[in-house]
């Protein structure tokens, strides 16, 4: 079901896809396009053009109308309109002709929220830590939370309404495996009512077509299917679960048949790195709009399994070339998010978009975290949404304040001109490698630990890979048992 690039021409009749839309961002007093994992801010010209995009008016007609409104030459206007629309079409947010799918229901409550400055743009809701898969790089903590501590659907609804009221636009329904929750439909209905853009982050293995169709009917916008590999034996080995690839292919196909946005998320490491070209083909074949090629971040379970996961520098560099080539070849068909490998980087990533700046994570039992690995940082205390309002936690919570802004920075970050770009990198990685959470991320070439960090990656990647310690309740201290229980 691979899909062709939409080339915008004067006779095209552009329309938003089922999974993208114009949205009033009340809190920040602006209009945005809500799209998978993104909110695109619009200038007045963009807004004027998109106000005419309905799947009925052609680009030529839209240009005529705008030329009249602004008393400008139609050919100049049309060139600009095509350019703007082509950019959105290449992000797979527009289609030619009216959309075959009904848009998700509009929230009755979202518009009434009181503005609150600088809230999080996104909320990652870990609905449960239960999961049928056992990926050895899972970002959940080693100490997984138990089912009997999980927030109820009503409590999640309250969290979503509070999140929307302080400015959250995107909601990631994640886990563990969120579809293990029997009340996922109720949880989703709360999210839709709060006016959030909903993304279901799933391994896909538990979903039926009927259930996915029901979720789409309630108003789900987007599905992110995680892929361990597309070579079945390798996928089974990495996930500790048999038969996942066929199931993922089915769910991806159903998502597209239902008009949902689709991202394939592929964590990349030494045990699947050679299959990257096939993973790209898989994403094209199932009609995904986005592919995340994400080199592993080494904390939580991935840190325990680092020696089994870390690729060589040469193999990492090869993935850069493969993705660059595929980006050009698949323009307008598949968009890429490429997360580089920190050990082989010279600059760090702006982890989580900067601590306490952009996202908030809520664990199954209601702990509010600035990033999903934040519990690895000693000395931080985390507020619970059962006890404190979300906006207050975001604004004043000790964990959110700990590494916000620049006050906490040491040299070289403190005086570096990149500090407002990468915010000093990842706090969790800084702690894991240097023992100091306020240190410069060792992925940075200016860190005193950078060379040692890069060498560690390369040295470890050249040794034989040890067996995986699979993710499971009870933590990684059950290593002996985990190794014994591995598939041959």
* Pairwise CA distance, residues 21 & 383, whole Å: 34
428 binds, among ligand FES, ligand SF4, none (CB under 5 to 8 A by kind): ligand FES
Tell whether residue 351 is a contact of ligand FES (CB under 6 A): yes
Rule CB under 6 A: choose which of 128, 263, 319, 352 binds ligand FES: 352
Residues 291-330 within binding reach of ligand FES (CB under 6 A): 299
* Pairwise CA distance, residues 82 & 79, whole Å: 5
Task: Give a three-class secondary structure readout of 402-455.
Answer: HCCCCCCCCCCHHHCCCHHHHCCCCHHHHHHHHCCCCCCCCCCCCCCCHHHHHH
292 binds, among ligand FES, ligand SF4, none (CB under 5 to 8 A by kind): none
Q: Which is nearer to ligand FES, 326 or 373 (CB)?
A: 373
383 binds, among ligand FES, ligand SF4, none (CB under 5 to 8 A by kind): none
136 binds, among ligand FES, ligand SF4, none (CB under 5 to 8 A by kind): none
Q: Which is nearer to ligand FES, 203 or 376 (CB)?
A: 376
* Pairwise CA distance, residues 179 & 173, whole Å: 9
At CA 54, angle to CA 49 and CA 224, rounded to 5?
95
Rule CB under 6 A: choose which of 367, 427, 449, 471 binds ligand FES: 427
| Shortest reach from residue 289's CB to ligand SF4, in Å | 31
Instruction: Determine whether 237 is exposed, middle or buried from the number of CB atoms within 10 Å of its CB (0-12, 13-18, 19+).
Output: buried
| Shortest reach from residue 354's CB to ligand FES, in Å | 9
CA Rg value for the chain: 23
> What is the binding site for ligand SF4 (CB under 6 A)?
347-348, 412-413, 416, 418-419, 422, 424-425, 440-441, 444, 446
Tell whether residue 428 is a contact of ligand FES (CB under 6 A): yes
Question: Which strands sit side by side in the sheet containing 222-226, from one edge to the other?
Answer: 335-339, 290-295, 261-268, 222-226, 197-202, 170-174, 122-126, 359-362, 368-369
123 binds, among ligand FES, ligand SF4, none (CB under 5 to 8 A by kind): none
Give the C-alpha distances (Å, rounded to integers) separating 389 from 235, 397, 415: 41, 10, 35
Tell whether residue 443 is a contact of ligand FES (CB under 6 A): no
Interacting residues toward ligand FES by CB under 6 A: 299, 351-352, 371, 373-374, 426-428
């Amino acid at each position: 079901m691979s899909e062709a690039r939409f080339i915008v021409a004067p006779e095209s009749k552009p329309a938003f896809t089922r999974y993208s839309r114009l949205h009033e961002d009340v809190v920040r007093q602006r209009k945005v396009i809500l799209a998978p994992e993104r909110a695109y801010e619009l200038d007045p010209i963009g807004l004027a053009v998109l106000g005419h995009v309905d799947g009925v008016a052609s680009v030529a007609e839209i240009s005529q109308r705008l030329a009249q409104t602004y008393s400008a030459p139609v050919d100049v206007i049309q060139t600009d309109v095509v350019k703007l629309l082509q950019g959105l079409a290449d992000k797979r947010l527009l289609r030619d002709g009216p959309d075959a799918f009904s848009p998700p229901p509009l929230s009755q409550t979202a518009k009434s929220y009181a503005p609150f400055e600088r809230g999080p743009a996104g909320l990652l809701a870990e609905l449960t830590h239960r999961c049928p898969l056992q990926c050895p790089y899972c970002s959940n903590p080693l100490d997984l939370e138990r089912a009997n501590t999980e927030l109820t659907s009503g409590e999640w609804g309250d969290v979503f309404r509070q999140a929307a009221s302080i400015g959250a636009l995107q909601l990631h329904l994640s886990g563990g495996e969120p579809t293990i929750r029997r009340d996922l439909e109720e949880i989703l209905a709360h999210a839709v009512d709060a006016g959030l853009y909903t993304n279901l982050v799933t391994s896909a293995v538990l979903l039926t077509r009927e259930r996915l169709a029901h979720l789409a009917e309630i108003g789900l916008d987007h599905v992110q299917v995680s892929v361990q590999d597309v070579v079945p034996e390798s996928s089974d080995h990495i996930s500790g679960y048999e038969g996942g690839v066929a199931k993922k292919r089915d769910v991806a196909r159903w998502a597209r048949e239902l008009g949902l946005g689709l991202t394939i998320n592929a964590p990349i490491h030494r045990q699947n790195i050679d299959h990257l070209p096939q993973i790209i083909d898989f994403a094209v074949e199932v009609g995904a709009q986005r592919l995340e090629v994400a080199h592993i971040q080494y904390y939580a379970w991935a840190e325990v399994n680092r020696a089994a996961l870390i690729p060589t520098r040469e193999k990492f560099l090869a993935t850069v070339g493969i993705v660059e080539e595929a980006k050009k070849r698949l323009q307008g068909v598949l968009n890429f998010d490429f997360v580089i490998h920190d050990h082989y980087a010279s600059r760090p990533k702006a982890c989580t978009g900067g601590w306490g700046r952009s996202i908030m994570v809520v664990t199954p039992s209601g702990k509010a975290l600035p990033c999903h690995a934040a519990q690895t940082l000693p000395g931080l205390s985390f507020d619970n949404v059962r006890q404190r309002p979300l906006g207050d936690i975001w604004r004043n919570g000790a964990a959110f304040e700990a590494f916000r802004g620049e006050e906490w920075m040491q040299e070289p970050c403190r005086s570096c001109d990149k500090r407002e770009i990468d915010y000093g990198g990842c706090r969790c990685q800084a702690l894991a490698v240097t023992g100091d959470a306020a240190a410069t991320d060792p992925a940075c070439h200016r860190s005193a630990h950078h060379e040692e960090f890069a060498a560690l990656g390369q040295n470890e990647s050249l040794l034989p890979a040890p067996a995986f310690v699979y993710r499971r309740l009870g933590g990684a201290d059950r290593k002996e048992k985990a190794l014994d229980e591995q598939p041959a």
